[in-house]
Amino acid sequence: MYFIGIDSSTTATKALIMDESGTVLGVASSEYSFATPQPLWSEQSPLLWWHGTIESIRQALAKTNIDPAAVKGIGLAGQMHGLVLLDEKGEVLRPALLWNDQRTAAQCDTIRQKIGRERLIQITGNDALTGFTAPKILWVQENEPEIWQRTRHILLPKDYVRYKMTGEFAVDCADGAGTILFDLKQRNWSPEILRALNIPAETLPKVYEGTDITGTLSPAAAKELGLPAGIPVFGGGGDQAAAAVGTGAVRAGIVSLSLGTSGVIFATTDGCAIEPEGRLHAFCHSVPGKWHFMGVMLSAAGSLRWHRDTFAPGMSYDTLLAPAAEIQAGSDGLLFLPYLSGERTPHPDPLARGAFVGLTVRHTFPHLTRAVLEGVSFGLRDSFELMKNSGLKDISQVRVTGGGARSPLWRQILADMFNAEIVTVNSEEGAAYGAALLAATGAEIFPSVESACDSTIQITGSTKPGKDQAAYENLYPLYRDLYPALKPSFAKIGSS
């Protein structure tokens, strides 16, 4: 008995095949690009995700040589917040507006005006940000009225793949919450928000939990994918919620930290919790009946890559980081702000800029390297502190994944910075693996998502706070002072 997990990201679609014990048998990926037809715009043809799904599933089947008839479920994950518009025949009306599209600042202001910022956060758990789906819908209403008049169905990226598989219009709670059209507590579309934004409820898909069956593979789709018709397709989740399942971050107290180009801190909550100022994202989890907080840093390991590529191109990361381990905590008074791409949490500021502060003639290249690691870690702690102040008092463990997690030095800095145990796990396939686990749970291979994670995900390494914890505790307030002090300068630089 086998299960397939799909992750349709911005740059590739991954297909993963696992057996009923949770062992990954094979993974395949198909890459594609996205378009930036104007400054701030980011668009993609939804057919790329479908063609990527076909290619990746066929490649994974060929790699594993399993019997396709033994596949008993498919789980879906994918990039969040994108806008897919279909007409009455289910045909795509325009390229999808992606999560990283930044054209909708004016529409975000409109949403706050129509609903009220406090009321919006109260209902949806979030402020209006350009990345979310709702302002994209308003942009189409205002700028492409002929497209909007023909729109009969609104989908998120992975749910277009679901539609191509099953013919059904469906969304899971986690991805639906990321539209900011959700009543977060009710885990469904908010009539108040829809009325205020003039979005007909009938254009939105039916809502399911991540382990629910949303449809079955149609004969036409099955033929294209190389699978039998009738395989159940389960709810799945937005990529971050599915990735949290894939690393076992499904209980309160266990936090997931993805240390890739961007950095994401993800914390499960047993109830619907909201950060009052909307500085943290609050969404539904893919785990039925659970929610989560999420903080996003735009340049996490991306800051280290910039540092290496700019000052030591071609140097291996091991060579880069070795001398930084000899530098004392605090880099002899050197601080780094990691806002190389602007910032999202806790400062939703596209004009924020990176900075080294405190440079002297005593500082060497290894000092700069360590300062970058520490600056990113301080920035991630901002989200960590917001979560603790919003009710997550007992954070027992942080599960770290992504390229940055390979560095023992960085793991130790994070353990000291957070004053928490940092662990690595055996799961490396993130959202695709989480989607497969959700499907297996929906097929009753496991009694719950929590038990699925307990059965399949093991800790492979542990780093506990050490001697530098007190030093970082003293330095953190200095880091926190820098952004407010420099924000006016950032604004002037960005507008010049």
Q: Which residues contact 98 (CB under 8 A, 6 or more apart)?
A: 10, 34, 42, 43, 44, 79, 81, 82, 157
Residues 163, 19: Cα–Cα separation, whole Å:
25
From the candidates 239, 382, 416, 468, which is the catalytic residue? 239
Give yes or no for a contact between 181 and 189, defined as CB atoms under 8 angstroms apart: yes
Residues 44, 50: Cα–Cα separation, whole Å:
12
- Between vectors from CA 400 to CA 397 and to CA 403, what angle results, nearest 5°? 170
Q: Which residues contact 79 (CB under 8 A, 6 or more apart)?
A: 8, 9, 10, 98, 99, 157, 158, 238, 239
Q: Which residues contact 393 (CB under 8 A, 6 or more apart)?
A: none
Give yes or no for a contact between 79 and 239, defined as CB atoms under 8 angstroms apart: yes
By CB atoms closer than 10 A (0-12, 13-18, 19+), residue 326 is: exposed
* DSSP 3-state of 47: helix
φ, ψ for residue 413, nearest 5 deg: -60, -45
Quick one: tokens of 43? Answer: 């668009």
Angle between helices 408-418 and 365-389 in degrees, nearest 10: 40
Pick from 298, 176, 153: which is nearest to 237 by CA?
Answer: 176
Give yes or no for a contact between 301 and 317, defined as CB atoms under 8 angstroms apart: no
Residue 44, amino acid: Q
Residues 220, 230: Cα–Cα separation, whole Å:
11
By CB atoms closer than 10 A (0-12, 13-18, 19+), residue 276 is: exposed
CA-derived radius of gyration, the chain: 22
Quick one: tokens of 49? Answer: 């995700």
Residues 278, 20: Cα–Cα separation, whole Å:
40
Residue 483 CA: distances (Å) to CA of 117, 353, 430: 23, 9, 32
By CB atoms closer than 10 A (0-12, 13-18, 19+), residue 493 is: exposed
Residues 318, 115: Cα–Cα separation, whole Å:
51
Give yes or no for a contact between 295 and 264, defined as CB atoms under 8 angstroms apart: yes
What is the distance, to the nearest Å, from the Cα of residue 138 to the centroid of all Cα atoms in its chain? 23
454 is catalytic: no
Q: Catalytic site residues?
A: 239
